[in-house]
Amino acid sequence: MMTLSIALTGRPKVRISHMPARFDGLHAAASFPGLSVGPEFIACRLEEQALSHIVSIQTEIRDPAAIRAACGRLSLPEPVFGETKLFSSTAVGWAVLLPEWRYPVVCDVVTAKIAFDNFGGRWGEQKHLDRFLQGYAVEKAKIESRRRGHSVIEQSLDDGSVKLTIQVGGVA
């Protein structure tokens, strides 16, 4: 059984525990497309028996279905694909309207880059973007797990994190 917890503390964080002994960061990227190993953004702690390893995972926004699912889970308007005007530029991709943000966040699923202008928090609080990114990571993990025939149980925790229990090849 694999347990994936995605926590929101400043930036989203992922905690993976109870993994196979041969699990490593490269396996994480292969198991969950859209999650890639990287040095920043989402910290990941891997625990196996008495051993503990620190692995970093960077969320790449590459799946329109997971973008739509993240918007749905956060009760945001449906994302719209196209060219979007930001303050002093334009961006092409999936435009996501975050609460109280002056301009949308634009997700380019080809490059996995996110374009936004919140003027250092004056035009939109970072916490709303962090919640969207956490929601995307949770929804992408659920989509990929179910696509592979695994069952998923989601639990919201008091600290703002989300715990996903993924039963490999069966019912959780």
Per-residue pLDDT reduced to its tens digit, 77-96: 999 999 999 999 999 999 99
* 108 and 73 assigned to the same domain: yes
The pLDDT of 59-79, averaged and rounded, is: 96
* 11 and 51 assigned to the same domain: yes
Q: Is residue 172 part of a domain?
A: no
> How far is 100 from 96, CA to CA, in rounded Å?
12
**Average confidence score pLDDT of the chain:** 75
Which of these, 73, 61, 151, lies nearest to 106 by C-alpha position? Answer: 61
Residues 6+ apart with CB under 8 A from 17: 3, 5, 45, 46, 47
Dump pLDDT digits (tens) for 11-22.
444 444 433 333
> How far is 141 from 135, CA to CA, in rounded Å?
10
Dump pLDDT digits (tens) for 116-166.
999 999 999 999 999 999 999 999 989 998 999 988 889 888 988 888 888
Q: By residue range, what is the domain housing residue 94?
A: 64-130
Domain count, the chain: 2
* 122 and 142 assigned to the same domain: no
pTM here is: 0.71
